Amino acid sequence: MSEILFDISNGVGRITLNRPDVLNSFNRDMALAMQDALDECASNSEVRCILITGAGRAFCAGQDLQEAISTDGPGMQNIVKEHYNPIILKIRGIEKPVVAAVNGVAAGAGANIALAADMCIATESASFIQAFSKIGLIPDSGGTFTLPRLVGFQRATALMMLGDKVSASDAANMGMIYRAVPDEEFSAETDKLCNKLAIMPTRGLGLTKRALNLSMNNDLGQQLDVEESLQTQAGKSYDYREGVNAFLEKRKPEFQGK
Ligand code: T3D
C-alpha cells in the first residue's frame, strides 16, 4: 500500500497520510512521497487548493519512532534535514492555499505540519500534542517558529515543555488552529472550505500568502513596500479584471486562478 494517497478533484489536490496502523507516523518513504505530492500540487495548474489529511483514526503521530532508533535508518540529522524541513518549506512556499484537515490526534512533527498549513480545520475529537519533550527531543518541523506566533510565547513554551494534549476546541479558542467542528460535520465542512478556496482567485491568494510569510520578519515600512509591489502584481491578474467586471455587471465571478 502506498504511504501517501494523492488525487485531484474539483481543483483540490488531496494528500492523505496513509500508514494508519502506526497512526500515520512518518517514515522516510512517506516523507519523500509527501514532498513529491506537494511538488505536483505546486506545479499543476489544475490544483488550486491543497488538502492534507490522515487515513484512519489519526492525523499523524509524528516521526516513526521505530525508524528513528533503527541503526540502519536515516538517522536524526537526515530525518530533520531531508524529511521535515523540505515539507515545511514546501507547505509555506506553495503560493496556493494549503488546508490541514486534522481528523484525529496530531503529535510531534504531525502537529507542526498541521500548524504550518494556511488553515487548519480539526474534528472536535482531534487533539494536538507537542510530544517531543516526552522523549527528550526539541520541537521541530517549524514548531518553534510557528507556535509562538500563533498562541504567544508563554503558552507555546508551556505546551512545548509540558507536552500536554490540547483538544481541538481549546486549540481553536487559543488561535492555534482556524476551526474545530463537530465530528459528524467534519468531512462536509472540510470539503466546503476546500471547494470554496479552489474557485477563488488563486493568484491573489498566493500573493496574500507571500505577503503573510514576509510579514514574519519585516517592519511596517518594509511590509508596506511588499504590499505595494504585490498589489501591483495582483492588479495585473486575469482574476482581478474578472472580479471587478463581475461586480459591475452584477453577476457571479468566474475566476480562473491566474
Ligand atoms: O529522529 C527523530 O526522531 C527526529 C524527528 C522527530 C520528529 C517527531 O515527530 S518526534 C515525536 C514522535 N512522536 C511521538 O512521540 C508520539 C508517539 N505516539 C504517542 O504518543 C501516541 O501514539 C499518541 C498520543 C499519538 C496516540 O495514542 P493512542 O493511545 O491513541 O495510540 P497508541 O496505542 O499509542 O498507538 C497506536 C499504534 O500506533 C501503536 O502500535 P500497536 O501497539 O497498535 O502495534 C503505536 O505503537 C503506534 N504508534 C503511534 N505513534 C507512533 C507509533 N509507532 C511508531 N512511531 C510513532 N510515532
Q: What is the pLDDT of residue 76?
A: 85
Quick: pLDDT tens for 84-109: 999 999 999 999 999 999 999 999 99
Is 60:107 a contact under the CB 8 Å cutoff? Answer: yes
Collapsing DSSP states into helix, strand and coil, what is residue 208?
A: helix
121 C-alpha to center of ligand 1: Å?
22
Nearest CA to ligand 1 atom 47: 22
Parse the chain into domains and list their residue ranges: 4-198, 202-248
Give the Cα separation of 146 and 100 in Å (integer).
15
CATH tag, 202-248: 1.10.12
- Cβ within 8 Å of residue 9, ≥6 positions away: none
Mean pLDDT (whole number) for 161-178: 98
**Banded pLDDT at 1 (limits 50, 70, 90):** low
Quick: pLDDT tens for 101-144: 999 999 999 999 999 999 999 999 999 999 999 999 999 999 99
Pick the CATH number of 4-198 from 3.90.226.10, 3.50.50.60, 3.40.50.2300, 3.30.70.20: 3.90.226.10
Quick: pLDDT tens for 183-233: 999 999 999 999 999 999 999 999 999 999 999 999 999 999 999 999 999
What separation in angstroms does the CA of 174 have from each of 101, 156, 169?
18, 11, 9
**CB-hemisphere CA count at 13 Å for 193?**
24
Collapsing DSSP states into helix, strand and coil, what is residue 167?
A: strand
Q: Which helix (H) or strand (E) holds 119?
A: strand 119-123
Kindly tell me the sign of the dihedral angle through the C-alpha atoms of 92, 93, 99, 104.
negative
Phi-psi region of 70 (alpha: psi -120 to 50; beta: other; left: phi over 0): beta
Is 15:41 a contact under the CB 8 Å cutoff? Answer: yes
Nearest CA to ligand 1 atom 23: 61
142 C-alpha to center of ligand 1: Å?
19
Rounded to the nearest 10 degrees, what angle do helices 220-235 and 202-215 cross at?
170
Q: Which helix (H) or strand (E) holds 154?
A: helix 153-162
Query: What residues flank ligand 1, with Cβ below 6 Å?
Result: 22-23, 25, 61-66, 68, 76, 79-80, 105, 107-109, 129, 131-132, 135, 137, 140
Burial class (CB in 10 A: 0-12, 13-18, 19+), 156: buried
Tell me: pLDDT of 155 over 70.
Answer: yes
Quick: pLDDT tens for 142-154: 999 999 999 999 9
- Cβ within 8 Å of residue 161, ≥6 positions away: 133
Per the confidence metrics, is the pTM higher than 0.85? yes
Quick: pLDDT tens for 20-39: 999 999 999 999 999 999 99
Q: Which three cell numbers stand for residue 98?
A: 494549503
